A and B are shown apart, each in its own frame.
Chain A
């Protein structure tokens, strides 16, 4: 069956360190993968998209990698800050072809940055 697994339900990181979140998928062949941030009681907010032919993508303190052989994406936040505390979701389009299908999401990792 198809699965998207994010490494842990919660992750505690000390301020200033790099937080690394993992997203593994099974029985998908996504052309791209996306990462979102969700704060309590709010809708998700898009952060980064990485395509299957891209190894790495960066945006300010964020970095995403995508390994289609391992079927894994890593999401890094460098110089983490308490304001980075949130739930981070990975998502992919389950359809290998075109179309406007909605994304399938992992459960998310609740990241807590401790001062």
Chain B
């Protein structure tokens, strides 16, 4: 149980274009999902908390107008990287908790490798 599906797994786009990444909880409802970014040999960095039916909460230093998050339903959150640049190339991973308890473990998708040329 508690499966999180992320799509696409890899995407290559040209500089200046936008890319949308989908994150779905397949067998549970997630009122909150989290978006992380990971550069090579670095830790996962929390970008934003996606809240169903309301605005996302962004971490300091993350541009909300560049990384658009939509959490339209209890099973789907999307991250759109707008006007992508080569420095946005990274591994983006979403996660969700199947229950509201703060100590509940996170269940992660398998990530999206974004390459901006």
A99 to B97 Cα, complex, angstroms: 12
- Contacting residues, chain A, for B77 (C-beta < 8 A): none
B43 at the interface (CB under 8 A from A): yes
A49 to B40 Cα, complex, angstroms: 26
Q: Is the CB of B93 within 8 A of A43?
A: yes
In chain A, positions 40-58 with a C-beta closer than 8 Å to chain B are 41-46, 49, 51
A99 to B100 Cα, complex, angstroms: 9
The segment from A13-21, A70-78, A103-111 found at the interface with B is A103-111
- Contacting residues, chain B, for A106 (C-beta < 8 A): 43
A100 at the interface (CB under 8 A from B): yes
Q: Is the CB of B46 within 8 A of A102?
A: yes
Q: Is the CB of A102 within 8 A of B95?
A: yes
Choice from A44, A99, A104 contacting B108 with Cβ under 8 Å = A44
Q: Is the CB of A42 within 8 A of B110?
A: yes
Q: Is the CB of B103 within 8 A of A104?
A: no
Contact with A along B94-117 (1 / 0, CB 8 A): 010100101101111111010000
A107 to B43 Cα, complex, angstroms: 4
- Contacting residues, chain A, for B95 (C-beta < 8 A): 43, 102
Q: Is the CB of A105 within 8 A of B43?
A: yes
Contacts A45-B108, A103-B46, A103-B106 known; 9 new A-B pairs at CB < 8 A: A9-B41, A41-B110, A41-B111, A43-B109, A89-B44, A100-B49, A100-B97, A102-B46, A106-B43
B residues sitting closer than 8 Å to A (CB atoms) are 4, 6, 31-32, 34, 36, 41-44, 46, 49, 91, 93, 95, 97, 100, 102-103, 105-111, 113
A residues sitting closer than 8 Å to B (CB atoms) are 4, 9, 31-32, 34, 41-46, 49, 51, 89, 93, 95, 98-108
